Amino acid sequence: MEPKVIGVLVLVLALALSSPARGEGDTCQVEPHARVNCGFSGITAEQCEKKGCCFDTKVTGVPWCFNPVAVDDPTDNEECLL
């Protein structure tokens, strides 16, 4: 294979592996000061994600395991229909 092709494949693989595994998308984009703790001191990323929570260690002094943002479900039709 061409070195350029190998480079592109490595880049695509790296991006795929670094993307959210659960399809989190924007649900884990919570301002650090607005994070609500979802874990305990010393929780691992795997333990946190198994609980359905988000894990991000980039900011110190805030919860690293925190609740995701609630996403409105367009199929949720609990409105009262008159």
* Whole-number Å distance between alpha carbons of 16 and 33: 29
Give percent above pLDDT 70 in the chain.
60
Q: What is the CATH number of the domain that holds 30?
A: 4.10.110.10
Cβ neighbourhood burial of 78 (10 Å; 0-12, 13-18, 19+): exposed
- 8 A C-beta contact, residue 67 and residue 53: yes
Q: Residue for token digits 């190998």?
A: 6
User: Does residue 1 lie within any of the structural domains?
Assistant: no
Domain that holds residue 60: 24-71
User: Does residue 4 lie within any of the structural domains?
Assistant: no
User: Does residue 59 lie within any of the structural domains?
Assistant: yes
User: Does residue 48 lie within any of the structural domains?
Assistant: yes
Query: Each residue of 34-53: pLDDT tens digit?
Result: 999 999 999 999 999 999 99
Tally of domains within the chain:
1
**What's the whole-model pTM score?**
0.57
